[in-house]
Amino acid sequence: MARPLPGTRALRTLEAAARHLNFTRAADELGLTPAAVSHQIKEIEDQLGIVLFTRTSRTIRLTAAGTMLFEASIDALDLLGRAVSRAQKMTRGTALLKVTLDAQFATKWLMRRVDDFRKHQPGIDLRFDITYELRDFDLDDVDVGIRFGAGKYPGLCAHRLFDNVIIPVCSPALLRGGLPLKEPRDLFHHTLAHIEWSRLGIIWPNWRMWMAAAGVDDFDDSRTIVFVNSSDAVQAALDGNAVALADFFMVAHDLSEGRLVQPFELGIKVKPDFAYHVVYPVGSADDARIIAFKDWILNEVHNPQPDPTRRSWDEL
């Protein structure tokens, strides 16, 4: 008679405890107490008749048998996760298309256009997975994604969307205040917001760079407000609290409807190494739903757009 094997919950506890070599950190990750993690590990050891960890008053270490089961647990959980993902996609049918994307792209660009997609593709039930986490197409229940990056993703097809052009924006109410914005130096009297982001040696345009492009060489950036998320910087502008540097395509709707204005025409084109891409697995390249979504979004992106910049990054 085969010996009973630990269930998936026990395997996840073993995997987390072995990876951290710390029951407290494993417990935090799993949403358990350290005592519960210790109890589950003891249950596995008793069930299998194997010692998985050697314990001292300060540390825990994997035994040789524990290392073997830790590695097997990783493989088993990964295999099961991929099977569950495929089963979910199979069960939900061929009409549903699940798109994963970040909150900024969703709220500032895609959601304003999704009714048009549904009008042209009434047979496709479009659903969204809104997250800043990078989804795995093999493990997660998603079909297609919008990613910001270099566009080089092994096993995935990637189609570049628009270039990123960074422009200054503010609330119309700010312009009606007592501090006009007639030349770049007038910005010295206002709160300035931007994000801080760099990758592979490329720095996202900030106010120091914008001022340099505008010919201002004595700008002190110590009083600028730095955000991690560009949505927060844009919100500060919408609230009338700051002049923010924002991606033109993410604020185009706010500009067209008058919630934001662009006080200066100068914009900076981000180097083309990074951009938004629509991505999907190579194995799904013939999926009619994905083809329809990809063709639609590329058509939306490539419709004529006003150029909010007079000088590019390369001219700086």
For residue 194, what pLDDT is reported? 95
Helix (H) or strand (E) holding 172: helix 172-175
Who contacts 170 (Cβ-Cβ below 8 Å, separation ≥6)? 181, 190, 237, 240, 242, 243, 244, 260, 261, 263
Q: Average pLDDT, whole number, for the chain?
A: 86
Among the residue ranges 41-45, 118-122, 307-311, the one predicted with the least confidence is: 307-311
Task: Check: CB of residue 205 under 8 Å from CB of residue 277.
Answer: no
User: Is residue 269 within 8 Å of residue 165, measured between CB atoms?
Assistant: yes
CA 65 to CA 230: how far, in whole Å?
48
Instruction: Please say if the pLDDT value at position 311 is more than 60.
Output: no
How does residue 313 score in pLDDT terms, banded at 50, 70 and 90? very low
- CB-based burial label for 198 (10 Å; 0-12, 13-18, 19+): exposed
Residue-range domains of the chain with CATH: 8-89 (1.10.10.10), 93-160+273-302 (3.40.190.10), 165-271 (3.40.190.10)
State both tokens at 203.
């720095």
**For position 229, what pLDDT does the model report?**
84
Q: Could you read off the pLDDT of 186-245 as tens digits, one per residue?
A: 999 999 999 988 776 778 899 999 999 999 989 988 879 999 888 899 999 999 999 999
The amino acid occupying position 229 is: N
Alpha-carbon Rg for the chain, nearest whole angstrom, is 26
Stretch 117-128: mean pLDDT? 91
Take residue 243 and report the two structure tokens written for it: 């002049």
Determine the Cα–Cα distance for residues 112 and 306; give it in Å rounded to an integer: 18
Amino acid 3: pLDDT: 65
The average pLDDT across 260-268 equals 94
Give me the residue label for tokens 């099977």.
Answer: 83
Residue 1 pLDDT > 80, yes or no? no
pLDDT in the model for residue 150:
83
- pLDDT value at 2 more than 70: no
Q: Is the pLDDT of residue 307 over 90?
A: no
Length of the chain, please? 316
CA dihedral (269, 272, 273, 278) positive or negative = positive
- Candidate from 136-140, 230-234, 250-254 with smallest mean pLDDT: 136-140
Burial class of residue 87 (count of CB atoms within 10 Å of its CB; 0-12, 13-18, 19+): exposed
**What pLDDT digit, counting tens, does each position of 57-98 carry?**
778 899 999 998 898 888 888 788 777 766 766 666 668 899
Beta strands in the chain, from DSSP E residues, in sequence order: 53-55, 60-62, 96-101, 125-130, 144-149, 156-160, 165-169, 192-195, 198-199, 202-203, 225-227, 243-247, 268-269, 275-281
